[in-house]
Chain A
Amino acid sequence: MHTKVRVQTTINGEPQEFLCEPRQSLLECLRDLLGLTGTKEGCNDGNCGACTVLMDDRVVTSCLVLGVEAQGCQITTIEGIARGSELHPLQRSFLENAALQCGICTPGFIVAAKALLDQQPNPSEDEIRLWLANNLCRCTGYDKIIRAVKQAAEQMQEVNA
């Protein structure tokens, strides 16, 4: 007899409970059980970063996390990045800089970049590129993404100044 597991977590600040198979990844739980389809599946093996979410204080690829491991954790997905109806500065600067084409990589880039700016408000270009090395984009050639992150960092610092 296979038994599913009840998992209690906090997702984007809200308590959430779901019933999953132990073999289901956190990515599958988010998309298929909770309808949070902002988090994307690219490679499903940890290389592309499209499925990036925050799990407590760390950045992870949700395809390489089991849903059951989220028990008791705080998860942040792309759906939790905007403040209500107001876009996060990163979301705005991705739009303004045309830092996306097909957009499948974008949620992962934005979640990963947010974690960077939360701990390093003024990163250098090298720091941004290194931090985002686990996120792949087949469309933009990266330069626009790096520029968007840089601009968001500058805007966020102005607001805080």
Chain B
Amino acid sequence: MKWFDYAAPASLSEAVGLLTAHPGARLLAGGTDLLVQLRAGRKETDLVVDAKHIPELNAISYDAARGLTLGASVPCYRIYKDKNVTGAYPALAEVASLIGGTQIQGRASIGGNLCNAAPSADSVPLLIALHGTCRIAGPRGSREIAVEDFCTAPGRTVLQPGELLVSLHLPPPAPHSGARYLRFIPRNEMDIAVAGAGVEVVLENGRFRSARVALSSVAPTPLYVREAGEALAGSPVDEASIAAAAEIARKSAKPITDMRGTADYRSHLCAVLTRRALEAAVLRARGKN
């Protein structure tokens, strides 16, 4: 690894100051992407700014009326051990326990998963399905943006020089709602998704009141499939509605062929995973899981 300096700012304003003064600086959360990439020479930096001592980035808070605020650098193991998360957002706890293995979960954050902007990032489809928003701080103050608008290309995000992701916000779960993320990997653990689907459904009188579907690993960025949710809204909760939404997901995917799978295979997986994730989310919304 090339030489870099290290700073551990204790406040948001100090961090923004450092990032603004050093355009080549990189933020360090759990380092499970960043340190691998620096070592492999895929990224370079002259200053690593440790995000974990900034209070706003390291806190989880939940309020039944306002929802969840998840600091960008909170590691996965703290997320799935958090009683509010397991109670109100079980699908988020599941995703946090799916990224890597025990050791990776001791370090890896959801903020890092999003900012790394890999198409395969496992948490991102679920964050999109759960109406997640990003709070961003920078030299010109702070702004909010929907998670589905955050990644712009592989490895690229909307963050401007001097900006960082402070936290992710999820609204409180609606009554009779359920969410689920499912991915396909060739092993049981520790692999990169060939494809993945994150969904949320809200049910009302035997119909979908609303639904959201997003996919991983099948486009240059995590992909929000708005039309799938729109097709479900108002439809009866049955096999035909779910199959129609799964077909929309399949058609929306723009996968590539690589060593993990062919484009055709990935499209097929999108339909299967969307259907299964919707079925699981419906069960959860009915209080059956």
Contacts and interface: CB of A to CB of B under 8 A. Distances in A.
Contacts of A49: 101, 103
A21 B48 CA distance: 12
B32 A64 contact: yes
Describe A's contact surface by its main secondary structure: mixed
Given A5-B6, A22-B6, A44-B39, A69 B106 contact: no
A135 B101 CA distance: 9
B26 to A, nearest CB: 12
A6 interface: no
B77 A58 contact: yes
A68 B6 contact: yes
- Chain A CB within 10 Å, residue with most, of B2, B5, B32, B101: B101
Contact of B39 (A3, A45, A60, A135): A45
Q: Which of B75, B106, B189 has the most CB of A within 10 A?
A: B106
Contact of A58 (B32, B35, B75): B75
B107 interface: yes
Contacts of B102: 59, 112, 115-116, 131-134
Nearest to B36: A45
B205 interface: no
A123 interface: no
Nearest to A60: B106
Contacts of B100: 46, 134
Contacts of A36: none
B106 A55 contact: yes
Chain A, interface size: which category? 20 to 34
Contacts of B75: 58
Nearest to B5: A22
Interface in A32-73: 44-47, 49, 52, 55, 58-61, 63-66, 68-69, 71
A9 interface: no
Contact of A46 (B3, B6, B8, B36): B36
A155 to B, nearest CB: 22
B103 A66 contact: no
Contacts, number: 86
Contacts of A69: 31, 50, 52
Contact of A23 (B2, B32, B52): B2
B145 interface: no
Interface in B39-79: 39-40, 48, 50, 52, 75, 77
Given A23-B3, A52-B103, A134-B104, A46 B48 contact: no
A25 interface: yes
A88 to B, nearest CB: 19
B146 interface: no
Nearest to A69: B50
Contacts of A25: 35
Interface in A104-161: 112, 115-116, 130-135
A12 to B, nearest CB: 18
B280 to A, nearest CB: 20
A144 to B, nearest CB: 19
Contact of A66 (B2, B31, B188): B31
B174 interface: no
Interface string A53-97: 001001111011110110100000000000000000000000000
B36 A130 contact: no
Contacts of B1: 23
Contacts of A64: 30-32, 35-36, 104, 107
Contacts of A58: 75, 77, 106-107
Interface in B1-25: 1-6, 8
Contacts of A46: 32, 36, 100, 103-104
The 3 closest A-B pairs by CB, nearest first: A134-B101, A22-B6, A58-B106
Interface of B: 1-6, 8, 28, 30-32, 35-36, 38-40, 48, 50, 52, 75, 77, 100-104, 106-107, 188-190
13 contacts: A21-B3, A23-B2, A23-B4, A49-B101, A58-B106, A61-B103, A64-B30, A65-B31, A66-B6, A68-B6, A69-B31, A133-B101, A133-B190
